Structure 1
């Protein structure tokens, strides 16, 4: 059975960097985000790793893992939100104390999603694919991102509904932040391979495909064991976002996952918007989606609010979901059932 943490109104946020820390010249982003939380009477506890960055990581693997383990076991920390993602979180997995992980929310995306998926697969504890800590520093929070609190406050057995955003950010403009941090200029449109209305149901699992693909074939990516032990072979809805992969690399990754059995009992696949997906020759990302849909015989929904083109809905690894798309608009209903 899946176990769900719950976020209380007086929760203390722990910020640790299991992947990349924040370089000195950007420390003001951390201070701004902490001030925003404090305005809402939410306390923030920083780990040492958030303040450092060298050789593509905040610290060595054992130091990062130990700080994460300590925050997980600290009863005074209620939810963990890394500052952002990075590159080399995978180095920490062998040092994570999965046996003593407590039921508290971990929130993030990009490289953080590797840790989220591994925890849910190994322990059956739900994790939250959503916002980074530094993205919550704005004077306001856009309605799509702001739903993270509502989602994480959902009680076991209850449901929560989210809708696709009105507009999304085409490109990062760090020197020109808006009151909500993001530059939301482009009209959002969720799409389906069938070009028709679509609805699918199943347990959510996923993350940044660039990194979670590396769990296949390891002790941290045993999908078959997770299906049998925690969800009793219920169908899975996979959600992916692509940070840097070309269309052929994306295709290779999906084929590897299929061969590893990750798509057994799959009821559909969701793909987030992406700045990557660069075509190789005339092989486009739509071709990738078509190939996968035909092989798995499942619906494909793409350009959803997930990943590096914010904002994004908060998707819970392990939750039962119904996802519908009609006239370019999306709706995600998540039920926190065991």
Structure 2
């Protein structure tokens, strides 16, 4: 069975950087984000790694793991909230003491999604793929992003519904800050590969940023069969992915490897976030990739969803029993904590 952490309105939040920390010239962003959490009534403690960055990581793998392990085993902490993603979280996963992890939420995306994925697969503890801490520094938060809080407050046995955004952000404009941090200007439209206007998928949520999750295929940290048998009692997986930097042929190679590793043998569907990557290679487009993948796995596929590096994004709970309903470009995500 999946274990769902408990969260409340005056919870203890811990900020650590198991991937990239915040360099000194950008400390003001972290201060702003922490202050917003305190204004909401949360108590915040901050680890040393959140404030440092050198050689593409916040600190050595051992220092990052030691700080993370301390927070993972601390019963007073209800949420671990990294400032943002990064590049080298993979260095840390073999140093985590999985047997000592106490149920608590971990929230983030990008490189952090690897941590979320591995912890849920290894322990059966639900984790939350959604906003990072830095993106909550604004004076207000858009409705889709803001659902992170209500999602984490959902109790075991309850359900949380989320709805697709109306508009999304095409590009970052850091030199032109907005009250909501994001500049939501482009019309959102979720699409099905076969052009179906209505489609429903059901299954247990699992996924994240494909750039980093692919590196645990075939390792003890990506044993999907064991996870399904032990924690899901054989229920099917509803996969969600988002692409940060991979081109189309790299995606193609990766998903063939996932198929060969058996990741899609008991799956109900795949959804993909919007991406500013997906670069065409020698005529091979992202549309070609989606079409080929659908033929390979014989599963329904939806793309351009609210997930990942092209915000805003919903909060996807790894392990939750979910239903995604698509109707004429708009969608509803319902997740039950069962």
Q: Same fold (TM over 0.5)?
A: yes
Following TM superposition, the consecutive aligned residue runs of length 4 or more in structure 1 with deviations greater than 4 angstroms are none
Question: SS of the counterpart of 2:222?
Answer: coil
Q: Does residue 281 of structure 1 match 2:277?
A: no
Q: Distance in 1 between matches of 2:236 and 2:156?
A: 20
How far residue 40 of structure 1 moved from its aligned partner, in angstroms, is: 1.5
Give the match for residue 71 of structure 1: 71
Query: Given that residues 205 and 236 in structure 1 are in contact (C-alpha distance below 8 angstroms), is that contact kept between their aligned partners in structure 2?
Result: yes
Q: Deviations over 1:63-106 (max 9, x none)?
A: 00110011112223210110000000000011101001110000
Identify unmatched segments of 5+ residues in structure 1.
Answer: none
Q: 2:223, 2:239 → 1: CA distance? A: 15
Deviation at 1:178, TM superposition (A): 0.8
Aligned to 1:125: 125
Q: CA deviation at 1:4?
A: 0.4
For structure 1, which segment, 205-214 or 281-290, has the greater mean C-alpha deviation from structure 2 after superposition?
Answer: 281-290
Using the TM superposition, give the Cα deviation of residue 29 of structure 1 relative to its aligned residue in structure 2, in angstroms. 0.4
Q: 1:227 maps to what in 2?
A: 228
Q: 1:283-322 deviations in whole A, cap 9, x for unaligned?
A: 1111111111111111000000000001100000000100
Secondary structure in 1 aligned to 2:38? helix
Q: Judge conservation of contact 1:7–1:149 (CA < 8 Å) in 2.
A: no
Query: Normalising by structure 1, what TM-score?
Result: 0.99
Q: Secondary structure at the match of 1:134?
A: helix
TM superposition score normalised by structure 2: 0.99
Distance 1:159 1:112 in 2: 25
Query: What is the CA distance between 1:207 and its match in structure 2?
Result: 0.4
For the pair 1:114 / 2:114, whether they are aligned, the reply is yes
Over residues 119-150 of structure 1, what are the superposed CA-to-partner deviations in whole Å (9 max), with x where a residue is unaligned? 00000000000010101100001100000011
Partner secondary structure for residue 152 of structure 1: helix
Deviation at 1:164, TM superposition (A): 0.2
- Whole-angstrom CA distance in 2 between matches of 1:289 and 1:236: 18
Q: Which runs of 5+ in 2 are unaligned?
A: none
Query: Counterparts of 1:249-288 in structure 2 under 5 Å?
Result: 249-288=250-289
Matched residue of 2:119: which SS? helix
Which residue of structure 2 lines up, in the alignment, with residue 320 of structure 1?
Answer: 321
